Structure 1
Amino acid sequence: MATSAAGSAQWWGRLQEGTGRATLQELGKNGPVLVALSEVYAKAMGEELRALAAVASEALLVGGVEEIPGIQRVPADAGLRHALGGTLTSLNVRMAASWLQHCEDGQLTSPATSGSWKKWAASESRPEQHNRKPMTDDEVITFVRQQTASQPGISRTRLLRQLRAEGRACEQSRFANLYIKTVGQS
Protein backbone atom coordinates (compact mmCIF):
# COMPACT_ATOMS: atom_id res chain seq x y z
CA MET A 1 0.00 0.00 0.00
CA ALA A 2 1.33 3.42 -0.94
CA THR A 3 1.57 6.08 1.73
CA SER A 4 2.32 9.09 -0.47
CA ALA A 5 1.15 10.60 -3.75
CA ALA A 6 4.43 9.58 -5.41
CA GLY A 7 4.10 6.05 -4.04
CA SER A 8 0.50 5.86 -5.29
CA ALA A 9 1.58 7.01 -8.76
CA GLN A 10 4.34 4.41 -8.79
CA TRP A 11 1.87 1.72 -7.69
CA TRP A 12 -0.55 2.73 -10.46
CA GLY A 13 2.20 2.67 -13.09
CA ARG A 14 3.32 -0.81 -12.06
CA LEU A 15 -0.24 -2.06 -11.98
CA GLN A 16 -0.70 -0.94 -15.59
CA GLU A 17 2.55 -2.47 -16.88
CA GLY A 18 2.02 -5.41 -19.17
CA THR A 19 -1.79 -5.32 -19.05
CA GLY A 20 -2.08 -4.65 -22.76
CA ARG A 21 -4.87 -2.16 -22.01
CA ALA A 22 -5.10 1.19 -23.71
CA THR A 23 -3.97 4.19 -21.68
CA LEU A 24 -6.31 7.10 -21.07
CA GLN A 25 -4.20 9.09 -23.53
CA GLU A 26 -4.76 6.47 -26.25
CA LEU A 27 -8.48 6.40 -25.51
CA GLY A 28 -8.63 10.20 -25.64
CA LYS A 29 -7.25 10.20 -29.16
CA ASN A 30 -10.14 8.01 -30.31
CA GLY A 31 -13.17 9.75 -28.85
CA PRO A 32 -14.85 11.01 -25.69
CA VAL A 33 -13.56 9.69 -22.36
CA LEU A 34 -15.47 9.58 -19.08
CA VAL A 35 -13.46 8.75 -15.95
CA ALA A 36 -14.93 8.30 -12.45
CA LEU A 37 -12.24 8.40 -9.77
CA SER A 38 -11.92 8.81 -6.04
CA GLU A 39 -9.46 11.39 -4.73
CA VAL A 40 -6.91 8.65 -3.99
CA TYR A 41 -7.01 7.18 -7.50
CA ALA A 42 -7.04 10.64 -9.12
CA LYS A 43 -3.84 11.51 -7.23
CA ALA A 44 -2.24 8.23 -8.30
CA MET A 45 -3.29 8.79 -11.91
CA GLY A 46 -2.43 12.49 -12.06
CA GLU A 47 0.22 12.10 -14.77
CA GLU A 48 -2.08 9.93 -16.89
CA LEU A 49 -4.95 12.41 -16.50
CA ARG A 50 -2.75 15.30 -17.62
CA ALA A 51 -1.66 13.24 -20.65
CA LEU A 52 -5.34 12.63 -21.46
CA ALA A 53 -6.08 16.35 -21.19
CA ALA A 54 -3.34 17.11 -23.71
CA VAL A 55 -4.93 14.99 -26.48
CA ALA A 56 -8.64 14.49 -25.76
CA SER A 57 -11.22 16.44 -27.68
CA GLU A 58 -13.79 15.58 -25.01
CA ALA A 59 -13.00 14.31 -21.49
CA LEU A 60 -15.02 14.28 -18.30
CA LEU A 61 -13.74 13.47 -14.81
CA VAL A 62 -16.35 12.64 -12.18
CA GLY A 63 -14.90 12.95 -8.69
CA GLY A 64 -11.16 13.35 -8.73
CA VAL A 65 -9.17 15.76 -6.66
CA GLU A 66 -8.45 18.87 -8.73
CA GLU A 67 -9.30 20.77 -11.88
CA ILE A 68 -7.13 19.75 -14.85
CA PRO A 69 -7.13 22.09 -17.85
CA GLY A 70 -8.54 20.16 -20.82
CA ILE A 71 -10.79 17.91 -18.72
CA GLN A 72 -14.23 18.95 -17.53
CA ARG A 73 -14.63 17.95 -13.88
CA VAL A 74 -17.74 17.19 -11.87
CA PRO A 75 -16.70 17.10 -8.18
CA ALA A 76 -18.19 14.40 -5.99
CA ASP A 77 -21.38 15.57 -4.26
CA ALA A 78 -22.40 13.50 -1.25
CA GLY A 79 -25.67 15.42 -1.25
CA LEU A 80 -26.72 13.44 -4.34
CA ARG A 81 -26.54 10.15 -2.48
CA HIS A 82 -30.22 10.24 -1.50
CA ALA A 83 -31.19 10.60 -5.20
CA LEU A 84 -28.67 8.09 -6.54
CA GLY A 85 -28.64 5.60 -3.65
CA GLY A 86 -25.77 3.42 -2.49
CA THR A 87 -22.68 4.20 -0.47
CA LEU A 88 -20.27 7.11 -0.68
CA THR A 89 -17.62 4.67 -1.89
CA SER A 90 -19.41 4.13 -5.21
CA LEU A 91 -21.02 7.57 -5.53
CA ASN A 92 -18.73 8.76 -8.35
CA VAL A 93 -19.74 5.81 -10.53
CA ARG A 94 -23.45 6.45 -9.94
CA MET A 95 -22.91 10.16 -10.65
CA ALA A 96 -21.20 9.25 -13.94
CA ALA A 97 -24.12 7.00 -14.92
CA SER A 98 -26.55 9.80 -14.11
CA TRP A 99 -24.45 12.27 -16.11
CA LEU A 100 -24.82 10.01 -19.15
CA GLN A 101 -28.60 10.14 -18.75
CA HIS A 102 -28.33 13.93 -19.05
CA CYS A 103 -26.49 13.80 -22.41
CA GLU A 104 -29.46 15.26 -24.27
CA ASP A 105 -27.55 16.07 -27.45
CA GLY A 106 -25.28 13.02 -27.48
CA GLN A 107 -22.28 15.11 -26.43
CA LEU A 108 -20.46 14.22 -23.22
CA THR A 109 -19.35 17.72 -22.26
CA SER A 110 -21.58 20.06 -24.25
CA PRO A 111 -23.18 23.13 -22.67
CA ALA A 112 -26.59 21.42 -23.03
CA THR A 113 -25.41 18.33 -21.15
CA SER A 114 -23.65 20.39 -18.46
CA GLY A 115 -26.71 22.59 -18.07
CA SER A 116 -29.05 19.63 -17.79
CA TRP A 117 -26.82 18.00 -15.17
CA LYS A 118 -26.36 21.19 -13.14
CA LYS A 119 -30.09 21.88 -13.10
CA TRP A 120 -30.86 18.32 -11.98
CA ALA A 121 -28.06 18.19 -9.39
CA ALA A 122 -29.07 21.55 -7.89
CA SER A 123 -32.65 20.32 -7.45
CA GLU A 124 -31.62 16.95 -5.99
CA SER A 125 -28.59 17.68 -3.79
CA ARG A 126 -29.39 17.45 -0.09
CA PRO A 127 -26.60 17.83 2.46
CA GLU A 128 -26.42 14.79 4.71
CA GLN A 129 -26.52 15.47 8.41
CA HIS A 130 -26.39 12.62 10.82
CA ASN A 131 -26.86 13.00 14.53
CA ARG A 132 -26.34 9.35 15.26
CA LYS A 133 -25.23 8.01 18.60
CA PRO A 134 -21.86 6.21 18.48
CA MET A 135 -21.87 2.61 19.68
CA THR A 136 -19.30 0.45 21.42
CA ASP A 137 -18.28 -2.88 19.90
CA ASP A 138 -20.32 -4.68 22.56
CA GLU A 139 -23.43 -2.64 21.71
CA VAL A 140 -23.04 -3.42 18.00
CA ILE A 141 -22.57 -7.13 18.70
CA THR A 142 -25.68 -7.14 20.93
CA PHE A 143 -27.67 -5.39 18.18
CA VAL A 144 -26.49 -7.91 15.57
CA ARG A 145 -27.37 -10.88 17.81
CA GLN A 146 -30.84 -9.53 18.63
CA GLN A 147 -31.72 -8.60 15.06
CA THR A 148 -30.41 -11.77 13.41
CA ALA A 149 -32.36 -13.82 15.97
CA SER A 150 -35.59 -11.94 15.27
CA GLN A 151 -35.00 -11.57 11.49
CA PRO A 152 -33.26 -14.73 10.26
CA GLY A 153 -31.58 -14.25 6.91
CA ILE A 154 -31.38 -10.45 7.11
CA SER A 155 -28.43 -9.19 5.10
CA ARG A 156 -25.54 -7.37 6.71
CA THR A 157 -26.20 -4.31 4.53
CA ARG A 158 -29.86 -4.18 5.49
CA LEU A 159 -28.94 -4.62 9.15
CA LEU A 160 -26.51 -1.69 9.02
CA ARG A 161 -29.20 0.43 7.34
CA GLN A 162 -31.61 -0.51 10.12
CA LEU A 163 -29.06 0.38 12.80
CA ARG A 164 -28.49 3.80 11.22
CA ALA A 165 -32.22 4.39 10.74
CA GLU A 166 -32.57 3.95 14.49
CA GLY A 167 -30.17 6.86 15.00
CA ARG A 168 -27.13 4.83 15.91
CA ALA A 169 -23.69 5.12 14.31
CA CYS A 170 -21.20 2.51 13.16
CA GLU A 171 -18.72 2.81 10.29
CA GLN A 172 -19.39 0.32 7.48
CA SER A 173 -16.15 -1.70 7.63
CA ARG A 174 -16.24 -1.82 11.45
CA PHE A 175 -19.82 -3.07 11.30
CA ALA A 176 -18.83 -5.71 8.73
CA ASN A 177 -16.01 -6.97 10.96
CA LEU A 178 -18.24 -7.12 14.03
CA TYR A 179 -21.01 -8.81 12.06
CA ILE A 180 -18.61 -11.49 10.82
CA LYS A 181 -17.21 -11.91 14.33
CA THR A 182 -20.76 -12.37 15.64
CA VAL A 183 -22.49 -14.51 13.01
CA GLY A 184 -19.66 -15.60 10.72
CA GLN A 185 -19.45 -15.27 6.93
CA SER A 186 -22.82 -15.44 5.24
Structure 2
Amino acid sequence: MVLSEVYAKAMHAELLALGALAAEALLIGGDEDIAGIQRVASDAGLRGALGGTLTSLNVRMAASWLQHCEDRRLTSTATSNSWHQWAASASNPERHNREPMSDEEVIAFIKRGIASSARASRTRLLRDLRDSGRACEQSRFAGLFNRTMGQK
Protein backbone atom coordinates (compact mmCIF):
# COMPACT_ATOMS: atom_id res chain seq x y z
CA MET A 1 0.00 0.00 0.00
CA VAL A 2 1.15 3.52 -0.74
CA LEU A 3 -0.70 5.97 1.50
CA SER A 4 -0.41 9.60 2.50
CA GLU A 5 -0.66 10.49 6.18
CA VAL A 6 -4.20 11.80 5.73
CA TYR A 7 -5.39 8.74 3.82
CA ALA A 8 -3.78 6.37 6.35
CA LYS A 9 -5.55 8.17 9.20
CA ALA A 10 -8.86 7.77 7.37
CA MET A 11 -8.14 4.05 6.93
CA HIS A 12 -6.82 3.49 10.46
CA ALA A 13 -9.43 0.87 11.44
CA GLU A 14 -8.91 -1.07 8.21
CA LEU A 15 -5.14 -0.99 8.65
CA LEU A 16 -5.45 -2.30 12.21
CA ALA A 17 -7.68 -5.12 10.95
CA LEU A 18 -5.19 -5.98 8.20
CA GLY A 19 -2.32 -6.01 10.68
CA ALA A 20 -4.26 -8.39 12.94
CA LEU A 21 -4.61 -10.92 10.10
CA ALA A 22 -0.89 -11.69 10.25
CA ALA A 23 -0.81 -11.41 6.45
CA GLU A 24 2.25 -10.20 4.61
CA ALA A 25 1.71 -6.45 4.11
CA LEU A 26 3.88 -3.46 3.24
CA LEU A 27 2.94 0.18 3.78
CA ILE A 28 4.90 2.99 2.14
CA GLY A 29 4.14 6.32 3.84
CA GLY A 30 1.22 6.30 6.22
CA ASP A 31 1.14 8.12 9.51
CA GLU A 32 2.23 5.55 12.10
CA ASP A 33 3.53 2.03 12.55
CA ILE A 34 0.80 -0.63 12.67
CA ALA A 35 1.46 -3.98 14.36
CA GLY A 36 1.59 -6.70 11.70
CA ILE A 37 2.35 -4.33 8.79
CA GLN A 38 5.87 -3.55 7.63
CA ARG A 39 6.05 0.22 7.18
CA VAL A 40 8.50 2.44 5.32
CA ALA A 41 7.96 5.98 6.58
CA SER A 42 8.14 8.89 4.15
CA ASP A 43 11.57 10.49 3.98
CA ALA A 44 11.60 13.97 2.43
CA GLY A 45 15.39 13.69 2.31
CA LEU A 46 14.99 11.21 -0.56
CA ARG A 47 13.37 13.82 -2.81
CA GLY A 48 16.75 14.80 -4.24
CA ALA A 49 17.56 11.20 -5.18
CA LEU A 50 14.07 10.30 -6.39
CA GLY A 51 13.07 13.66 -7.90
CA GLY A 52 9.61 15.18 -8.12
CA THR A 53 7.50 16.85 -5.49
CA LEU A 54 6.81 15.90 -1.90
CA THR A 55 3.20 15.21 -2.87
CA SER A 56 4.23 12.20 -4.97
CA LEU A 57 7.24 11.11 -2.92
CA ASN A 58 5.56 7.98 -1.50
CA VAL A 59 4.88 6.65 -5.00
CA ARG A 60 8.51 7.17 -6.03
CA MET A 61 9.66 5.54 -2.78
CA ALA A 62 7.49 2.53 -3.61
CA ALA A 63 9.01 2.30 -7.09
CA SER A 64 12.48 2.44 -5.55
CA TRP A 65 11.49 -0.26 -3.05
CA LEU A 66 10.51 -2.52 -5.96
CA GLN A 67 13.90 -1.95 -7.59
CA HIS A 68 15.54 -3.25 -4.40
CA CYS A 69 13.30 -6.33 -4.32
CA GLU A 70 15.85 -8.76 -5.75
CA ASP A 71 14.36 -11.87 -4.16
CA ARG A 72 10.83 -11.03 -5.43
CA ARG A 73 9.50 -10.72 -1.86
CA LEU A 74 8.21 -7.32 -0.86
CA THR A 75 8.68 -7.80 2.85
CA SER A 76 11.82 -9.93 2.99
CA THR A 77 14.73 -8.99 5.18
CA ALA A 78 16.97 -8.86 2.10
CA THR A 79 14.69 -6.36 0.35
CA SER A 80 14.33 -4.26 3.49
CA ASN A 81 18.07 -4.25 4.15
CA SER A 82 18.90 -3.38 0.53
CA TRP A 83 16.43 -0.48 0.41
CA HIS A 84 17.30 0.91 3.84
CA GLN A 85 21.03 0.77 3.04
CA TRP A 86 20.39 2.69 -0.19
CA ALA A 87 18.02 5.16 1.50
CA ALA A 88 20.50 5.90 4.29
CA SER A 89 23.17 6.81 1.74
CA ALA A 90 20.79 8.72 -0.56
CA SER A 91 18.83 10.72 2.02
CA ASN A 92 19.81 14.36 2.16
CA PRO A 93 17.38 16.49 4.19
CA GLU A 94 16.58 19.75 2.45
CA ARG A 95 17.14 22.90 4.45
CA HIS A 96 15.73 26.11 3.14
CA ASN A 97 16.90 29.31 4.76
CA ARG A 98 15.27 31.59 2.26
CA GLU A 99 14.52 35.24 2.86
CA PRO A 100 10.81 36.14 2.88
CA MET A 101 9.62 38.77 0.41
CA SER A 102 6.79 41.27 0.37
CA ASP A 103 4.18 41.17 -2.41
CA GLU A 104 5.76 44.27 -3.93
CA GLU A 105 9.20 42.63 -4.01
CA VAL A 106 7.79 39.48 -5.64
CA ILE A 107 5.92 41.53 -8.25
CA ALA A 108 9.10 43.51 -9.02
CA PHE A 109 10.99 40.20 -9.41
CA ILE A 110 8.31 38.89 -11.78
CA LYS A 111 8.39 42.07 -13.86
CA ARG A 112 12.19 41.90 -14.16
CA GLY A 113 11.99 38.25 -15.16
CA ILE A 114 9.38 38.90 -17.83
CA ALA A 115 11.33 41.88 -19.14
CA SER A 116 14.45 39.76 -19.54
CA SER A 117 12.57 36.93 -21.28
CA ALA A 118 9.10 37.39 -22.71
CA ARG A 119 8.62 33.61 -22.56
CA ALA A 120 9.51 33.31 -18.87
CA SER A 121 7.08 30.85 -17.29
CA ARG A 122 5.63 31.14 -13.82
CA THR A 123 7.34 27.89 -12.84
CA ARG A 124 10.73 29.03 -14.15
CA LEU A 125 10.47 32.39 -12.38
CA LEU A 126 9.52 30.78 -9.07
CA ARG A 127 12.51 28.41 -9.38
CA ASP A 128 14.78 31.38 -10.15
CA LEU A 129 13.41 33.26 -7.16
CA ARG A 130 13.98 30.33 -4.80
CA ASP A 131 17.43 29.63 -6.27
CA SER A 132 18.34 33.23 -5.45
CA GLY A 133 17.76 32.50 -1.75
CA ARG A 134 14.38 34.17 -1.45
CA ALA A 135 11.08 32.63 -0.41
CA CYS A 136 7.56 32.73 -1.76
CA GLU A 137 4.90 30.05 -1.34
CA GLN A 138 3.83 28.52 -4.64
CA SER A 139 0.14 29.51 -4.61
CA ARG A 140 0.99 33.05 -3.46
CA PHE A 141 3.53 33.37 -6.28
CA ALA A 142 0.94 32.07 -8.78
CA GLY A 143 -1.58 34.70 -7.69
CA LEU A 144 0.99 37.50 -7.88
CA PHE A 145 2.22 36.26 -11.25
CA ASN A 146 -1.32 36.15 -12.66
CA ARG A 147 -2.08 39.60 -11.24
CA THR A 148 1.12 40.98 -12.75
CA MET A 149 0.45 39.40 -16.13
CA GLY A 150 -3.06 40.88 -16.09
CA GLN A 151 -1.60 44.37 -15.63
CA LYS A 152 0.44 44.17 -18.85
Deviation at 1:169, TM superposition (A): 0.8
State the partner residue of 1:172.
138
Q: Counterparts in 2 of 1:43-54, with a 5 A limit?
A: 43-54=9-20
- Which of residues 105, 110, 127 in structure 1 aligns to 2:76? 110
Q: Among all aligned residue pairs of Structure 1 and Structure 2, give the percentage whose two residues are the same amino acid.
A: 70
User: What runs of 5+ residues in structure 1 fail to find an aligned partner?
Assistant: 1-34
Query: Structure 1 length normalisation: TM-score?
Result: 0.73
Alpha-carbon distance in structure 2 between the residues aligned to 1:103 and 1:152: 48
Alpha-carbon distance in structure 2 between the residues aligned to 1:151 and 1:99: 41
Deviation at 1:109, TM superposition (A): 1.1
Alpha-carbon distance in structure 2 between the residues aligned to 1:157 and 1:58: 42
Give the aligned CA root-mean-square deviation in angstroms: 1.8
User: What runs of 5+ residues in structure 2 fail to find an aligned partner?
Assistant: none
Structure 1 position 57 matched with structure 2 position 58: no
Deviation at 1:177, TM superposition (A): 2.5
Report Cα offsets for 1:38-64 as digits up to 9, x if no partner.
222211121222233234732211111
> What is the total number of aligned residue pairs between the two structures?
150
Structure 1 position 140 matched with structure 2 position 106: yes
Alpha-carbon distance in structure 1 between the residues aligned to 2:109 and 2:11: 41
Relative distance call for 1:152 and 1:59 in structure 2 (3 A) is farther
Alpha-carbon distance in structure 1 between the residues aligned to 2:16 and 2:39: 13
Alpha-carbon distance in structure 1 between the residues aligned to 2:23 and 2:121: 45
Alpha-carbon distance in structure 2 between the residues aligned to 1:58 and 1:176: 44
State the partner residue of 2:5.
39
Using CA pairs under 8 Å that are at least 6 residues apart, name the structure with larger relative contact order, 1 or 2.
Answer: 2
State the partner residue of 2:56.
90
